[in-house]
Amino acid sequence: MKVLLIGSGGREHALAWKIAQSPLLDALYAAPGNPGIADHATLVALNVEDHAAVIAFAKEKAIEFVVIGPEAPLVAGLADDLRAAGIATFGPSKAAAQLEGSKGFTKDLCARYDIPTGAYQRFKSAEPARDYVREQGAPIVIKADGLAAGKGVTVAMTEAEALAAIDECFDGAFGTAGAEVVVEAFLDGEEASFFCLSDGKTALALATAQDHKRVGDGDTGPNTGGMGAYSPAPVMTPAMVERTMKEIIEPTISGMAKDGNPFSGVFFAGLMITAKGPELIEYNVRFGDPECQVLMMRLKSDLLPILYATATGTLDKVQAEWRDDAALTVVLASKGYPGAYDKNTPIAHVPEASAEAKVFHAGTALKDGKLVATGGRVLNVTAFGKDVTEAQARAYALTDRVEWENGFCRRDIGWQAVAREKA
Question: Where does this chain bind ligand AMP (CB under 6 A)?
Answer: 118, 141, 150, 153, 155, 184, 186-187, 191, 213, 223, 270, 281-282
Residue 307 region by backbone torsions, left for phi larger than 0, else alpha for psi between -120 and 50, else beta: alpha
Instruction: Indicate the residue among 101 and 262 with the shorter CB distance to ligand GLY.
Output: 101
**Are the CB atoms for 190 and 208 separated by under 8 Å?**
no
226 binds, among ligand AMP, ligand GLY, none (CB under 5 to 8 A by kind): ligand GLY
325 binds, among ligand GLY, ligand AMP, none (CB under 5 to 8 A by kind): none
186 binds, among ligand GLY, ligand AMP, none (CB under 5 to 8 A by kind): ligand AMP
288 binds, among ligand AMP, ligand GLY, none (CB under 5 to 8 A by kind): ligand GLY
Return the range that interacts with ligand GLY (CB under 6 A); candidates 84-92, 173-181, 281-289, 411-419.
281-289
291 binds, among ligand GLY, ligand AMP, none (CB under 5 to 8 A by kind): ligand GLY
Beta strands in 163-291 (DSSP E): 181-185, 190-198, 203-211, 214-216, 220-223, 228-231, 265-274, 277-284
Bridge partners of residue 156, in order along the sequence? 140
Instruction: Indicate the residue among 211 and 325 with the shorter CB distance to ligand GLY.
Output: 211
**Are the CB atoms for 152 and 166 separated by under 8 Å?**
no
282 binds, among ligand AMP, ligand GLY, none (CB under 5 to 8 A by kind): ligand AMP
Instruction: Indicate the residue among 184 and 302 with the shorter CB distance to ligand GLY.
Output: 184
Mention every residue, 6+ apart, whose C-beta is less than 8 A from residue 230.
Answer: 209, 210, 294, 326, 327, 328, 329, 388, 391, 392, 413, 414, 417
**Are the CB atoms for 327 and 358 separated by under 8 Å?**
no
153 binds, among ligand AMP, ligand GLY, none (CB under 5 to 8 A by kind): ligand AMP
**Site size for ligand GLY (CB under 6 A):** 8
Residue 118 binds ligand GLY (CB under 6 A): no
- Give the Cα separation of 120 and 143 in Å (integer): 10
Give the nearest distance from C-beta 99 to ligand AMP in angstroms. Answer: 12
Instruction: Indicate the residue among 107 and 212 with the shorter CB distance to ligand GLY.
Output: 212
Give the nearest distance from C-beta 60 to ligand GLY in angstroms. Answer: 32
- H/E element, 385: strand 377-385
* Helices 250-258 + 103-113 axis angle, to 10: 100
Instruction: Indicate the residue among 88 and 240 with the shorter CB distance to ligand AMP.
Output: 240
**Are the CB atoms for 285 and 308 separated by under 8 Å?**
no
Return the range that interacts with ligand GLY (CB under 6 A); candidates 162-170, 283-291, 295-303, 390-398.
283-291
144 binds, among ligand AMP, ligand GLY, none (CB under 5 to 8 A by kind): none
Q: For residue 258, how many other CB atoms are within 10 A of its CB?
A: 12
Task: Provide φ and ψ at 152, rounded to 5°.
Answer: -85, 15
Tell me the residue length of the chain.
Answer: 423
Task: Provide φ and ψ at 30, rounded to 5°.
Answer: -135, 135
User: What is the amino acid identity at position 227?
Assistant: M
Closest CA to 209 of 196, 220, 198, 223: 196
Give the nearest distance from C-beta 225 to ligand GLY in angstroms. Answer: 6
70, 152, 288, 385: which one contacts ligand GLY (CB under 6 A)? 288
Give the nearest distance from C-beta 155 to ligand AMP in angstroms. Answer: 5
Bridge partners of residue 170, in order along the sequence? none
Instruction: Indicate the residue among 63 and 362 with the shorter CB distance to ligand GLY.
Output: 362
281 binds, among ligand AMP, ligand GLY, none (CB under 5 to 8 A by kind): ligand AMP
Site string (291-320) toward ligand GLY, x via CB under 6 A: x-----------------------------
12, 145, 279, 289: which one contacts ligand GLY (CB under 6 A)? 289
**Are the CB atoms for 34 and 14 separated by under 8 Å?**
no
The residue sitting closest to ligand GLY, measured at its beta carbon, is 226
User: What is the amino acid identity at position 125?
Assistant: S
- Give the Cα separation of 8 and 54 in Å (integer): 15
184 binds, among ligand GLY, ligand AMP, none (CB under 5 to 8 A by kind): ligand AMP
Residues 209-268, interacting with ligand GLY (CB under 6 A): 211, 225-226
**Are the CB atoms for 15 and 296 separated by under 8 Å?**
yes
Contact residues toward ligand GLY (CB under 6 A) are 150, 211, 225-226, 284, 288-289, 291
